[in-house]
């Protein structure tokens, strides 16, 4: 339905909850990623759900609680190499596969996330 915002079209909170939970399970199991993440990803996942909700045009949950996303600045404490950006995107691609997210909406979201992930790179290859 073209009248819907992407957040609704994708299936709202129900879909994003599943996507983000599978995504962080993948992150936890990825050798290049888990060392830079906290052991307990509960809060990280909660923030990511808020962020993706507004990224897809839904209510601005992230900004309401945490202020302007300033994602690149918030990632500066973590060494994000090109390899880690690739790994992050792979975890996301596999999460999309696992929850059965398909079609144009998936392609568009993945494209935007690819762009954002490139922008987060702040450290040359180790
Ligand atoms: C937080 C890694 C890309 C959205 C974080 C944290 C790490 C991280 C280590 C901190 C977790 C914590 O302390 O709870 C990475 C790596 C990326 C990447 C390695 C590879 C390029 C992205 C992208 C997005 C994103 C593309 C956009 C969807 C977020 C959000 C947070 C976060 C919303 C929470 C920020 C906050 O603390 O308020 N990320 N990230 N990240 N990341 Fe990423």
Which of 26, 64, 73, 75 should be mutated for ligand 1, with most atoms under 8 A from CB?
75
pLDDT recorded at residue 126: 78
CA separation for the pair 97, 42 (Å, rounded):
22
pLDDT of 2 reads 65
pLDDT for the residue 1:
62
Query: What are the domain boundaries of the chain?
Result: 6-120
Give me ligand 1 centre to Cα 57, in Å: 19
Residues of the chain with pLDDT under 50: none
Alpha carbons 22 and 56: distance in angstroms, whole number: 18
6-120 to CATH, choices 1.10.357.10, 3.40.50.720, 2.40.40.20, 1.10.490.10 = 1.10.490.10
Instruction: Name the nearest CA neighbour of 15 among 53, 55, 64.
Output: 53
Is the whole model's pTM more than 0.95, yes or no? yes
CB 121 within 8 A of CB 81: yes
Please give the distance, rounded to the nearest whole angstrom, from the Cα atom of residue 88 to the centre of ligand 1: 9
pLDDT at position 78 is 98
What is the Å distance from ligand 1's center to 5 Cα?
24
Phi, psi of 5, deg, nearest 5 = -75, 155
């Amino acid at each position: 339905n073209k009248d819907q915002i992407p957040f609704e079209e994708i299936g709202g909170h129900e879909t994003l909850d599943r996507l983000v939970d599978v995504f962080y399970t993948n992150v936890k199991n990825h050798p290049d990623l888990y060392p830079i993440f906290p052991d307990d990803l509960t809060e990280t996942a909660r923030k990511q759900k808020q962020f993706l909700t507004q990224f897809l045009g839904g209510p601005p949950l992230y900004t309401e609680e945490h202020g302007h996303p300033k994602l690149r600045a918030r990632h500066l404490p973590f060494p994000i190499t090109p390899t880690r950006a690739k790994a992050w995107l792979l975890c996301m691609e596999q999460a999309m596969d696992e929850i059965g997210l398909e079609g144009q909406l998936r392609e568009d979201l993945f494209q935007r996330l690819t762009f954002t992930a490139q922008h987060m790179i702040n450290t040359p290859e180790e």
